[in-house]
Structure 1
Amino acid sequence: MPLLKVSADHAVRPAGLVAVPSRVLTLITRLRFRRALKAGVGLLLSMLSASSLGSRRVVGLFSAEVKGIPAAHQHLGKSLCCRKPAFLSWFKFYLLFCLLLCTLCFTLFDSLSCWDSSPLYKHYQKLFNQTRDFHVPQSYLPASPKEINGTTNAPTTVAPTLPTTVAPTHPPTVAPTHPPTVAPTHPPTVAPTHPTTVAPTHPTTVAPTHPTTVAPTHPPIVAPTVASTAAPPGTQYHQAYARNYHFIMDNKEVCKNQTPFLVLMVPVAPNNLAARNAIRQTWGNKTRIRGEVVLTMFMLGSIGGNVEQLQEKLKQENKKHHDLIQSDFRDSYKNLTIKTMVIMDWLATRCPSAAYAMKIDSDMFLNIDNLVIMLKKPGIPKQNYLTGMLMSNCPVVRWKPSKWYVPEEMYPDPKFPTYTLGMGYVLSNDLPEKFLEISKSIKPFNIEDAYIGMCMKKLGLKPSEPPNPSQFKAYNTKYNRCSFSKVITYILESSQQLIDFWTDLKKPGPPCEVNTAEDAPQAPLC
């Protein structure tokens, strides 16, 4: 329950402590003192009515309860108990007389001013001031209209630290909603410097310190605390729409000089030269397979850090190999959806004549010969075709520490649509332009392969299972030459591993023994 603070001036303030008025404190002090005197008088009267034996027991009680008292002191206590009854009676009468005198003097104070000026009150007041504040629930301290003139449901109208001005843009200050609370004909008044007066009794509210500034008659508009999901100025549709970005390094002529049957698009980090060189030495080195032209291109984003030095190295690398494409989006794992859609943009605008394309990660083993053989089989569609390792009924990861965490505001559904695993999927080259168009209406999220699956779903299409699902594999336990000779994809651990496995696979001699059983499809990952 919210608390109110009642000060000495009866003003209502928010927060936890209540200052008791001085007059109430005085009454409490007098009541406590009188109660103590009454108890003392009662005790002495009971002692007078008791026998001499009872009095001696009272005195002996104090001496018996104290531990470790020297023998001389104990003897003194015993001697007091053994005094004559006349001495004890005179001693009790003397104590009673002193108490009665104090009581008489206290009751003769007719006014609070006399009590306030007494030394006893000042001493007691000094001690009591340390605990004058009490927590009082709001329900026990209703605020009168005079105390909160013109306020709304907010607990206060004026910030305690700024008693002279009311800033309309501060959240604690809510301007009155009733037009009569602002009197434009009245000259602007300045609130008193002391914080005791919160609101005047007349309808005129506290005016700003500058005479030219008038407080608004409506509540101030406060900006929302939730971050806006709207795209920045100049962005079309959303941040993952590929044509919001521009190519800063390109090879436009590669598809004009020849018509590729298959284009391999490899997303890779700008500084990962080792992965690019390993691919160039292995499956990216083959440009013609079974009479078909195969093209390998690397997609990069923009870089941070020592930009000029690394960018110059990238220019020299592209000048040598003519296989780098770079766009001006920020290269990061969280931006893989942007990177994938920029790949689709390049395929649709730079290489629309290609028959097929494959998006494949830079840490993959690719048996390019088996892939071309698969695509040349009869019955493989040339349009609306997407295949790879299919993922069905995969739940969305809502665990925040996970690498694949997707918040509900990005993707509210509990499961992803059927999609092909992003390690490597093959598509007919009519789909990139369709993906770009349909992506205008699809809110992006950070799982790039599932986003492509969402594009397929919006297009009314479904990914196709490959002719031999066992050829698309994810992780392998150990290298086996026969197994690697049959697959299309495998995920590797390093670039050096790719070079070693490829070298062993391509050495002379048959990779498998005769009548070797065919591998079974790998179970889905989700």
Structure 2
Amino acid sequence: MRRTKALILIMLTSSFVLLMLYSMLNLQFTNSQGVAEEMQLADITNEAPVISTDTSIKENAIAEIVSQSESVMYTTTKAVQLVTFSESFINDIPKSGAYWNRKLHSFLRQLDATGNVSKLVPLNTHCQPESAESLHMNIPDFRNYPELYQNFIQGMDCRNPQILIDQPRKCASAQKVFLLFAIKSTPRHFERRQAVRETWGKERTYTGGLVVKTVFLLGTSSSDYPNLDKMVTFEAKEFGDVLVWDFQDSFYNLTLKEHVFFKWAVHRCHHVSFIFKGDDDVFANTPEILHYLHSLEPEKASNLYTGQIISEATPLRDVNIKYYVPQTFFDGAYPAYAGGGGFLFSGALLRPLHLISQYIPFFPIDDVYTGMCFKALNVFPEKHKGFQTFDIREQDRDNACVHKSLLLVHKRNAQQTVRLWRNMHSPLLTC
């Protein structure tokens, strides 16, 4: 009997000791796992490029991990960022029956007394395309809109496409990136991208240690063109400068491309000093741009938004025009904005732009939408005569000396870009 009691006592004691050891080990493992997860999140920008080989991110496990990590970082960013809508932006949008106006003012009614948006749920929390029936109830002549316009409005709240090709190490160099070229392109424009790579968008360190990096912003191949996704995947691996999101590349998706770039830059390149945002058919004078940026006073540099400024513009109501905007969709004038062919802005504005762009309904013209975002932040565009987004005199378009004093001209094809760059930097050139 005594032997049995002693045996039971030993078993109970052993069980208790084992339980204590297990709890200690489990706690240690949990803590280690948490540290590992924090290290993984902190080192996210040092990962290898994430590239989907079959154009479907859903089957790419690595990309899914990156996406989840980005979501965590994004949540952290939201928690510490404070952004306020400017009074000038709110007051300049008429309270009318136009759909976009109603959508914006319905949201603005949720702001607190200071106009703060930090505690509000973004417009893009869930992607649920609006039904044609619902839109017809809200826009009486919706069925008379062009088909592509109808498609744009139905998908206005779909703001978080998955990234198919990423370049997480783009800004992970030891030196801080001074200027990031973010160039809007489409899958079929390889020749234009290559011309940029070989000329003004070439990644290098300029005099004074000014680091220049380049990314090209793409959606997937349009249904009206051959599928070039596999060629783009190869190009991304070869050059390491292509970003692709899971939406169809089209004119009406340029605003979406702007929005996802803000998100990418906040996560991947948030320390960049300046961003040049432009098209793949512009000619940029990189040394002159760097000289201008490097000469800026700190206060001006931190709030920079400059280019060729379009002021007092209003919507075009002719359905046959590319920039057509129906009266029942938007009412009012446009804010002053920099032409989308190419403009510069401060890297310090990336986080506020990213946040504010989640609360302003998408607009079908991307540079107008960007102007809205800047105005909502109380940042106003400054004209720079070196930006010529509507081109220069025809007789000067091949003149390298004329281009040496400019920051940007639009448009130039790939051959003109290569020739101009070569002539501008020839030791034989005398201006």
Do they superpose with TM above 0.5?
A: yes
Q: Tell me if the contact between 1:406 and 1:445 (Cα under 8 Å) persists in the aligned partners.
A: no
Mean Cα deviation higher: 478-487 or 321-330: 478-487
Quote the offset at 1:436 in angstroms: 2.5
Quote the offset at 1:493 in angstroms: 4.0
Aligned match for 2:136, one of 226, 229, 247:
226
Query: Using a 3 Å threshold, how does the CA distance of structure 1 residues 309 and 424 change in structure 2: closer, same or farther?
Result: closer
Q: Do structure 1's residue 458 and structure 2's residue 376 form an aligned pair? A: yes
Task: Show CA shifts across 1:321-345 (max 9, x none).
Answer: 0001001121101211111112211
Aligned to 1:332: 250
Q: Do structure 1's residue 398 and structure 2's residue 299 form an aligned pair? A: no
Aligned match for 1:499, one of 409, 418, 423:
418
In 2, Cα distance between equivalents of 1:225 and 1:509:
62
Aligned match for 2:168, one of 243, 247, 252:
252
TM-score, structure 2 as length reference: 0.61
Question: What amino acid sits opposite 1:474 in the alignment?
Answer: F
Question: What amino acid sits opposite 2:286 in the alignment?
Answer: I
In 2, Cα distance between equivalents of 1:303 and 1:457:
33
Aligned to 2:198: 281
Aligned match for 1:297, one of 215, 229, 236:
215
In 1, Cα distance between equivalents of 2:159 and 2:426:
45
Aligned to 1:123: none
Aligned to 1:509: 428
Quote the offset at 1:490 in angstroms: 0.5
Mean Cα deviation higher: 242-251 or 290-299: 242-251
Quote the offset at 1:390 in angstroms: 1.1
Query: Using a 3 Å threshold, how does the CA distance of structure 1 residues 227 and 439 change in structure 2: closer, same or farther?
Result: farther
Q: Tell me if the contact between 1:261 and 1:292 (Cα under 8 Å) persists in the aligned partners.
A: yes
Instruction: Please give the secondary structure, in 2, of the residue aligned with 1:244.
Output: coil
Question: What amino acid sits opposite 2:164 in the alignment?
Answer: I
In 2, Cα distance between equivalents of 1:475 and 1:249:
33
Q: Tell me if the contact between 1:471 and 1:489 (Cα under 8 Å) persists in the aligned partners.
A: yes
Aligned to 2:147: none
Task: Show CA shifts across 1:416-451 (max 9, x none).
Answer: 111111111111112232122222332222111111
Query: Using a 3 Å threshold, how does the CA distance of structure 1 residues 410 and 444 change in structure 2: closer, same or farther?
Result: farther
Aligned match for 1:446, one of 364, 381, 396:
364
Query: Using a 3 Å threshold, how does the CA distance of structure 1 residues 311 and 458 change in structure 2: closer, same or farther?
Result: same
Instruction: Please give the secondary structure, in 1, of the residue aligned with 2:136.
Output: coil
Q: Do structure 1's residue 361 and structure 2's residue 279 form an aligned pair? A: yes
In 2, Cα distance between equivalents of 1:430 and 1:240:
27
Query: Using a 3 Å threshold, how does the CA distance of structure 1 residues 393 and 472 change in structure 2: closer, same or farther?
Result: same
Q: Tell me if the contact between 2:312 and 2:335 (Cα under 8 Å) persists in the aligned partners.
A: yes
Instruction: Please give the secondary structure, in 2, of the residue aligned with 1:360.
Output: strand
Q: Tell me if the contact between 1:410 and 1:444 (Cα under 8 Å) persists in the aligned partners.
A: no
Query: Using a 3 Å threshold, how does the CA distance of structure 1 residues 244 and 471 change in structure 2: closer, same or farther?
Result: closer
Aligned match for 1:385, one of 272, 280, 304:
304
RCO higher in structure (CA 8 A, sep ≥6): 2
Aligned to 1:267: 184
In 2, Cα distance between equivalents of 1:276 and 1:438:
30
Counting helix residues as a fraction of each chain, which structure ranks higher?
A: 2
Query: Using a 3 Å threshold, how does the CA distance of structure 1 residues 511 and 417 change in structure 2: closer, same or farther?
Result: farther
Task: Show CA shifts across 1:346-397 (max 9, x none).
Answer: 1111110111111011000000000000000042523232111111111221
Q: Tell me if the contact between 2:337 and 2:367 (Cα under 8 Å) persists in the aligned partners.
A: yes
What is the correspondence of 1:130-279 to structure 2 with a 5 Å cutoff?
A: 226=136, 239=155, 243-258=159-174, 259-279=176-196
Query: Using a 3 Å threshold, how does the CA distance of structure 1 residues 343 and 511 change in structure 2: closer, same or farther?
Result: farther
Question: What amino acid sits opposite 1:338 in the alignment?
Answer: L
Query: Using a 3 Å threshold, how does the CA distance of structure 1 residues 298 and 242 change in structure 2: closer, same or farther?
Result: farther
Aligned to 1:475: 391
Query: Using a 3 Å threshold, how does the CA distance of structure 1 residues 250 and 496 change in structure 2: closer, same or farther?
Result: same
Q: Tell me if the contact between 2:177 and 2:273 (Cα under 8 Å) persists in the aligned partners.
A: yes
Aligned to 2:349: 431
Quote the offset at 1:242 in angstroms: 8.0
Q: Which runs of 5+ in 1 are unaligned?
A: 1-222, 231-236, 513-526
Mean Cα deviation higher: 301-310 or 256-265: 301-310
Quote the offset at 1:306 in angstroms: 10
In 1, Cα distance between equivalents of 2:271 and 2:400:
35
Q: How many residues align?
A: 281
Q: Which runs of 4+ in 1 moved over 3 A?
A: 227-230, 237-243, 304-309, 470-473
Query: Using a 3 Å threshold, how does the CA distance of structure 1 residues 332 and 285 change in structure 2: closer, same or farther?
Result: same
In 2, Cα distance between equivalents of 1:387 and 1:397:
24
Quote the offset at 1:471 in angstroms: 4.7
Instruction: Please give the secondary structure, in 2, of the residue aligned with 1:426.
Output: strand
In 1, Cα distance between equivalents of 2:154 and 2:430:
49
Quote the offset at 1:239 in angstroms: 4.5
Q: Tell me if the contact between 1:266 and 1:299 (Cα under 8 Å) persists in the aligned partners.
A: yes
Query: Quick check: which has more Rg, 1 or 2?
Result: 1
Q: Tell me if the contact between 2:202 and 2:213 (Cα under 8 Å) persists in the aligned partners.
A: no
Quote the offset at 1:304 in angstroms: 3.9
Question: What amino acid sits opposite 1:388 in the alignment?
Answer: G
Q: Which runs of 5+ in 2 are unaligned?
A: 1-132, 143-152
Task: Show CA shifts across 1:283-306 (max 9, x none).
Answer: 112411222000011010022459
Q: Percent identity?
A: 27
In 1, Cα distance between equivalents of 2:363 and 2:414:
29
Query: Using a 3 Å threshold, how does the CA distance of structure 1 residues 511 and 332 change in structure 2: closer, same or farther?
Result: farther
In 2, Cα distance between equivalents of 1:439 and 1:242:
13
Aligned to 1:411: 330
In 2, Cα distance between equivalents of 1:403 and 1:473:
17
Question: What amino acid sits opposite 2:199 in the alignment?
Answer: T
In 1, Cα distance between equivalents of 2:269 and 2:135:
45
Instruction: Please give the secondary structure, in 1, of the residue aligned with 2:357.
Output: helix
Question: What amino acid sits opposite 1:247 in the alignment?
Answer: I
Question: What amino acid sits opposite 1:269 in the alignment?
Answer: T
Aligned to 1:373: 291
Query: Using a 3 Å threshold, how does the CA distance of structure 1 residues 243 and 310 change in structure 2: closer, same or farther?
Result: same
Quote the offset at 1:404 in angstroms: 0.9
Instruction: Please give the secondary structure, in 1, of the residue aligned with 2:218.
Output: strand
In 2, Cα distance between equivalents of 1:441 and 1:420:
21
Instruction: Please give the secondary structure, in 1, of the residue aligned with 2:390.
Output: strand
